[in-house]
Structure 1
Amino acid sequence: MRLRRTGIIPADARVRHYDELDEETQVTVRELAGRPRTAPEVNDLDDGDVVKFTDYYEVRAR
């Protein structure tokens, strides 16, 4: 999975706040936020979800 910073949140997107995520997912979000890296998918997030962290990030599955 990858995270892509976004300023547009689709009306049908599930928005997840960082503090709602489990610890493993929080670590993955911290590692991917703002970096062009790929990580294994986590069970807590699906393709198209948006995570509110330091900014809004859209989840993209590989």
Structure 2
Amino acid sequence: MSIRESGRRLRLRRTGRIPPDARVRHYDELGEEAQVLVRELAGRPRTAPEPGELDDGDVVKFTDYYRVRAR
């Protein structure tokens, strides 16, 4: 998995509200590495290295809507 030079960690949190300025990404539009990451993190309190495709504040439509948080 490619890790950004920033070394930030990513977490997904289920959300029922999508901010109007959020970039919404559909699971099937993501690359294979990002899809694996979404499957592993959706609904779990874990973090992983941030892939290049997802940014802090993005929303991913998977089995539900998940907001990307990166630190």
TM-score normalized with structure 1 length: 0.99
Structure 1: tracts of 5 or more residues without a match: none
Which residue in 1 is equivalent to 2:60?
A: 51
Secondary structure of 1:8 counterpart:
coil
Deviation of 1:50 after TM superposition, in Å, equals 0.0
1:13 aligns with 2:41: no
Provide runs of 4+ in structure 1 moved above 3 Å. none
1:42 alignment counterpart = 51
What is the root-mean-square deviation in Å for CA atoms of aligned residues?
0.3
Displacement of 1:43: 0.3
Gaps in structure 2 of 5+ consecutive residues? 1-9
Bigger radius of gyration among the two? 2
| Aligned length in residues | 62
Q: Distance in 2 between matches of 1:30 and 1:43?
A: 16
Tell me what 1:33 maps to: 42
C-alpha offsets along residues 17-61 of structure 1, whole Å, 9 cap, x if unaligned? 000000000000000000000000000000000000000000000
Query: Letter of the aligned partner of 1:27 in structure 2?
Result: V
CA distance in 2, matches of 1:34, 1:20: 20
Give the SS at the match of 1:60.
strand
- Aligned residues with identical type, % of pairs: 84
